[in-house]
Amino acid sequence: MLRSTHRLPRTRRVVGVLVLALAAAVMAPVTTARADGFYDPPPSVAAAPGTVLRSEAMIFYLDPARTIRSTAHATRVMYATRDRTGAPIAVTGTVLVPPVPWVGKGQRPVIGYAAGTQGMGDQCAPSRQLAAGSEYEGAFISGLLARGYAVAMTDYQGLGTPGTHTYMVRAAQAHAVLDMVRAAQRLPGSGLPTAGPVMLAGYSQGGGASAAAAELAPTYAPELELKGAVAGAVPAELGAVAAHLDGSLYSAFALYAVAGQAAAYGLDLGTVLNDRGTSVIHAVEGECVGESIALHAFTRSSDLTKDGRSLTELAATEPFRSIIADQRIGRLEPTVPVLLTHSVLDDVIPYAVGRGLAHDWCARGANVAFSANVTPTHVGGAVPSFAKEYAFLEARVAGLPQVSDCWWL
């Protein structure tokens, strides 16, 4: 492990680069997905969850010009996982391993890293963005690698592989994260321990995926040696978040959720959307996040439905009410220490939603640390979140106990 006297300067550099990268991602033009047979799944997937179906070496670049190359050993993988119903599917992702031996306590930990919102087009998949130097979380991932952690980063269902990305579908995202860790541990030649320590991390969409994975790990992946989970700006109540986003600068995120939930539950949106609504949903399914924000800012859902009802009004009716209820995070108790972070000034996911998740988990007996900050905006809130995350992960590696904040939540 690196000495603590060297950690703070590196953390400042990483989070500084992260802010610039996040801003650049919003402004960057969408790229076209190249034809790549690697992302074509086999006709059937009968393997156990976490089984590596194929793999190939890749390069992780830190800049779009691809002049800065990470020293990590990078491998693109396709692996078996399960959708929300438990049906077998193939998903892709990336395994990143530092080139130097682990010198910390015990064996090298694997971080099951859940990416924040990338978009819905196949070209937006994190494994593609890492190779293109356009992954806006690349700087933070590099910080994890610099600390000696291996990183297992899923692309999620339908992001890269065929089909619609099941955006914010709780079970599908959790399964993809946990099975990505299993795949990393089973990847031939990775040098990773097959039963070593595991931690989970993510922010925004990734925060939801990390939180859901922490809840489901005891039953879905009980063999994993899970030590802790970090979840930042968690969209734990999808209905509340969608209502907040409707008609805002970030309307695209609510549109992503509509498309993702419809795909996962087999809904025919033609029964509720008008022609414009159908066209908009079809468009976002092929876009990355920067393009979607620019094109669909301030879109009101009531302008997209046949009868003028908004997302909030539709959410109160079936089948939408039950589907949204399925995505609720906070109904199960994580059995490992968890760190929740959220900015009071978050303009995408209301602070009350993150604070509510902390309260729900505490009520179920979980060991919860809750870190609030006052950094403006959702993007800005990621910076202190990531800084807190480094300290949390290192404490778990060191075997230090976490002092719960549940007494005041």
Model pLDDT for residues 133-178, shown as the tens digit of each residue: 999 999 999 999 999 999 999 999 999 999 999 999 999 999 999 9
Whether residues 98 and 212 share a domain: the answer is yes
When divided into structural domains, the chain yields a total of 2
Indicate whether 304 and 162 sit together in one domain.
Answer: no
Question: Which regions in the chain score pLDDT beneath 50?
Answer: 1-34
Of 293, 325, 357, the one marking the end of a domain is 325
pLDDT digits (tens, 9 = 90+) for 331-341: 999 999 999 99
Domain presence at residue 381: yes
Q: Within a domain: residue 320?
A: yes
CA 149 to centroid of chain Cα atoms: 18
CATH number at residue 281: 1.10.260.130
* Unique residue bearing structure tokens 């995408």: 348
Of 297, 325, 353, the last residue of a domain is 325
Structure tokens at 136: 């806006």
Last residue of a domain, one of 291, 325, 359: 325
**Does residue 407 lie within any of the structural domains?**
no
Residue 404 lies in a domain: no
Claim to verify: residue 139 and residue 36 sit in the same structural domain:
yes
One domain for residues 318 and 388: no
CB neighbours of 400 closer than 8 A, spacing ≥ 6?
Answer: none
Which CATH number is 215's domain given? 3.40.50.1820
Task: Check residue 14 and give its pLDDT.
Answer: 38
Say what the pTM is: 0.92
pLDDT at 36 (0 to 100): 74
Q: Examine the domain organization and report whether 283 and 147 are in the same domain.
A: no
Same-domain check for residues 174 and 294? no
pLDDT of residue 63: 94
**Alpha helices in 266-367, H assignment, sequence order:** 275-284, 289-296, 311-315, 320-326, 351-363
Please tell me whether residues 46 and 159 are part of one structural domain: yes
The gap from C-alpha 381 to its chain's centroid, in whole angstroms, comes to 16
Q: Is 210 a domain residue?
A: yes
Residue 111 lies in a domain: yes
Residues 373 and 388 in one domain: yes
Are 144 and 78 members of one domain?
Answer: yes
Whole domain around residue 273: which residue ranges?
A: 238-325
Phi, then psi, of 88 in degrees rounded to 5: -70, 135
Q: Examine the domain organization and report whether 304 and 356 are in the same domain.
A: no
For residue 108, being part of any structural domain is answered with: yes
> According to the model, what pLDDT value does residue 16 have?
39
Q: Are 72 and 99 in contact (CB under 8 A)?
A: yes
- pLDDT score for 163: 96
Asked if residue 274 and residue 125 are part of one domain, the reply reads: no
Identify whether residues 114 and 187 lie together within a single domain: yes
Q: Has residue 392 been placed in a domain?
A: yes
Q: Model confidence over 72-91: pLDDT tens digits?
A: 999 999 999 999 999 999 99
Q: Which pLDDT score is estimated for 387?
A: 87
